[in-house]
C-alpha cells in the first residue's frame, strides 16, 4: 500500500512539530525525545557517542524559515495494524562543530525535513502480547504490561500515549536556497574581471604606451567577462547538481524488479520501509566502534573509512539480489551526502556506500517490529534482541533474520 497525501492531518502536523522541538531539546541538553521510537533513540545515542569518541562537540539546531516553510506532500504506507506517514516541511538547520573548544565547522542550510510517523490504523487493535519498549525507561515489555504499569519503572501508559511515534527522520539539504552564495560569487567574479582588465590596461599603458581604450570601457569589459564566467559556473553547477540528484537512477529498473520479486513472497514489503531499515543498519555500522556487538550486524565498517559525522540519504539502488526459497540477500548502494571528519577538518561530500542485507522471509513485513523489544517465538517473553542472541527467559536462540533485515557486509 502506497499513497500520496497533499495535506497532512492536524494530528500528524502536531506530532511533527512536537518532534522537531524534542530534537532541539535533545541537542541542547540531552533530553530524550519522547516521541522517538526506541530504535531511533538508540541510533541518536550511538551517533552522539561516536562524536564524543572523536573528541567533537556537535550541535544541530532546527528553526522555522522566516518567510514560512513549504509543506512537502506526505506519503504513507501500511500493514495490517500500522500506518506510517512521511510528514515534512522545509526548515533551517544550523550545524556547529568544535574540537577542544575551537570551532571547525559552522553551516546553516535550508533542509527538507522528513519525519516518519507511525500510527495505529483506525479500527485495529494490536494483540495484548505485542512486544514494545517502555517509552519512559526503554525496557522491553508487552502492550498488556505497559497498560497496567511497566514492570521495570512502574509507569503506566494508555494507547493514546504510545502512538503516534516517530520511527525515523531525514534531512535533505537544499543547496544555496537563499541565493547568498550565488550573489557572493557574482560579486567576486565581476570584481576579478574588472581587476584583470585593469592589469591588462596598465601593462599596455606602461610597456607599450598604447592606452587607446578608455578606462570606462575597460571596466565595463571586466564586468561583462565576470558576468559571463558566473553564468558559466551556474550552468556547470546546475549540471553537477543534476548529476548528484541522479545518482542511482540507473538502478531503478533493478530496484523495481527486486521489489516485485520480493512482493511475491512478502505482499506487505514496502521500499520505504526497506530503505529506512538499510539506513538504520548503516548508522549502526558507521557510528558504533564495534558493530558486531549488535546482533543485527555481522560485519564492521572498513578501517579505511574516514569517520562519518552525519549522513543524509539521497537515493538507494539495488545492484544484485538472490532469492532462494525464503532466503533473500540484497547487495545495494546508498547514495548519500555526508559530513566527513578528515585531518582535523569537516568536509561535506557526496559518498556512496555498498551494503549487503539478508533476511529469511517467513512472514509479511511487520511495521510495528522493533528490535529493541521482540517477542520470543518459544516462550513469548519480550527482550532486547539488539543486545542478545538468546532469549533471557527460556534460553532459545532468536534468529533475527527471520523478522528483520540484518547487515552481512559493508564497503
Q: Which residues of the shown chain bind Zn ion in the complex (CB under 5 A)? A: 134, 136-137, 139, 150, 152-153, 376, 378-379, 381, 391, 393-394
Which residue from 379, 389, 382, 392 is spatially nearest to 133, judged by alpha carbons? Answer: 382
How many Cα neighbours within 13 Å face the side chain of 147? 13
Q: For the chain, report the end-to-end CA distance as a whole number of angstroms.
A: 32
Provide the minimum distance between the beta carbon of 400 and Zn ion in the complex, in angstroms, as a whole number. Answer: 14
Q: Which is nearer to Zn ion, 260 or 362 (CB)?
A: 362
Provide the minimum distance between the beta carbon of 134 and Zn ion in the complex, in angstroms, as a whole number. Answer: 3
Q: Which is nearer to Zn ion, 152 or 205 (CB)?
A: 152
For the residues of 343-375, what is the DSSP string, one character each? TTEEEEEEEEEEEEEEEE--S---TT-BTTBEE
Provide the minimum distance between the beta carbon of 164 and Zn ion in the complex, in angstroms, as a whole number. Answer: 19
Provide the minimum distance between the beta carbon of 383 and Zn ion in the complex, in angstroms, as a whole number. Answer: 8
Q: Which is nearer to Zn ion, 199 or 379 (CB)?
A: 379
Q: Which residues pair with 174 in a beta bridge?
A: 110
Provide the minimum distance between the beta carbon of 268 and Zn ion in the complex, in angstroms, as a whole number. Answer: 25
Give the H or E element holding residue 72: strand 71-78
Dist CA 353 CA 117 (whole Å):
26
Which residue from 39, 45, 46, 12 is spatially nearest to 26, judged by alpha carbons? Answer: 45
Taking each continuous run of H as one helix and of E as one strand, the counts in the chain are: 8, 14
Q: Which is nearer to Zn ion, 278 or 376 (CB)?
A: 376
Provide the minimum distance between the beta carbon of 151 and Zn ion in the complex, in angstroms, as a whole number. Answer: 8
For the residues of 286-313, what is the DSSP string, one character each? HH-S-GGGSTTBSS---TTSPPEEEEEE
Q: Which is nearer to Zn ion, 150 or 262 (CB)?
A: 150
Instruction: Please give the grid coordinates belonging to residue 154.
Output: 512502574
Provide the minimum distance between the beta carbon of 156 and Zn ion in the complex, in angstroms, as a whole number. Answer: 9
Provide the minimum distance between the beta carbon of 253 and Zn ion in the complex, in angstroms, as a whole number. Answer: 43
| Contact (CB, 8 A) for 104 and 97 | yes
Q: Which is nearer to Zn ion, 200 or 390 (CB)?
A: 390
Q: Which is nearer to Zn ion, 214 or 396 (CB)?
A: 396
Dist CA 203 CA 113 (whole Å):
54
Q: Which is nearer to Zn ion, 41 or 50 (CB)?
A: 41
User: CA-CA distances (angstroms) from residue 181 to 120, 128, 171, 233?
Assistant: 44, 55, 20, 12
- 52-55's contacts with Cβ under 8 Å and 24+ in sequence apart are 53/289, 54/307, 54/309, 54/341, 55/99, 55/100
Amino acid at each position: 500500500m502506497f499513497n500520496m497525501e497533499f495535506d497532512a492531518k492536524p494530528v500528524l502536523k502536531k506530532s511533527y512539530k512536537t518532534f522537531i522541538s524534542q530534537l532541539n531539546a535533545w541537542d541542547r541538553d540531552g533530553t530524550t525525545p519522547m516521541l522517538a521510537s526506541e530504535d531511533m533513540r538508540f541510533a541518536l545515542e550511538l551517533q552522539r557517542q561516536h562524536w564524543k569518541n572523536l573528541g567533537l562537540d556537535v550541535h544541530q539546531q532546527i528553526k522555522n524559515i522566516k518567510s514560512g516553510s513549504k509543506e512537502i506532500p506526505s506519503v504513507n504506507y501500511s500493514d495490517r495494524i500500522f500506518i506510517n506517514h512521511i510528514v515534512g516541511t522545509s526548515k533551517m538547520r544550523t550545524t556547529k562543530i568544535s574540537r577542544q573548544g575551537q570551532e571547525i565547522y559552522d553551516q546553516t542550510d535550508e533542509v527538507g525535513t522528513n519525519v516518519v510517523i507511525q500510527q495505529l490504523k483506525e479500527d485495529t487493535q494490536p494483540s495484548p502480547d505485542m512486544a514494545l519498549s517502555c517509552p519512559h525507561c526503554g525496557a522491553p515489555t508487552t502492550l498488556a504490561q505497559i497498560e497496567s504499569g511497566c514492570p521495570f519503572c512502574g509507569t503506566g501508559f494508555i494507547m493514546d500515549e504510545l502512538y503516534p511515534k516517530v520511527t525515523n527522520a531525514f534531512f535533505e539539504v537544499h543547496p544555496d536556497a537563499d541565493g547568498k552564495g550565488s550573489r557572493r560569487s557574482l560579486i567576486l567574479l565581476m570584481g576579478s574581471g574588472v581587476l584583470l582588465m585593469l592589469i591588462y590596461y596598465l601593462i599596455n599603458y606602461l610597456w607599450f604606451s598604447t592606452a587607446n581604450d578608455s578606462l570606462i570601457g575597460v571596466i565595463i569589459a571586466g564586468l561583462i567577462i565576470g558576468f559571463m564566467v558566473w553564468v558559466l559556473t551556474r550552468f556547470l553547477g546546475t549540471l553537477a547538481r543534476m548529476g548528484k540528484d541522479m545518482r542511482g537512477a540507473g538502478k531503478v529498473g533493478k530496484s523495481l524488479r527486486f521489489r516485485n520479486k520480493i512482493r511475491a513472497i512478502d505482499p506487505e514489503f514496502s521500499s520505504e520501509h526497506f530503505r529506512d531499515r538499510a539506513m538504520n543498519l548503516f548508522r549502526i555500522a558507521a557510528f558504533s566502534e564495534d558493530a558486531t556487538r549488535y546482533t543485527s550486524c555481522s560485519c564492521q565498517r572498513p578501517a579505511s573509512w574516514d569517520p562519518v559525522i552525519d549522513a543524509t540519504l539521497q537515493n538507494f539502488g539495488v545492484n544484485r539480489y538472490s532469492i532462494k526459497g525464503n532466503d533473500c540477500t540484497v547487495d545495494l548502494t546508498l547514495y548519500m551526502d555526508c559530513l566527513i571528519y578528515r585531518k582535523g577538518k569537516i568536509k561535506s561530500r557526496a559518498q556512496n556506500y555498498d551494503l549487503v542485507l539478508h533476511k529469511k522471509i517467513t512472514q509479511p513485513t511487520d511495521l510495528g517490529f522493533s528490535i529493541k523489544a521482540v517477542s520470543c517465538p518459544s516462550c513469548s517473553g519480550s527482550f532486547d534482541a539488539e543486545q542478545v542472541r538468546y532469549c533471557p527467559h527460556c534460553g532459545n536462540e532468536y534468529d533475527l533474520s527471520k523478522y528483520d533485515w540484518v547487515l552481512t557486509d559493508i564497503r
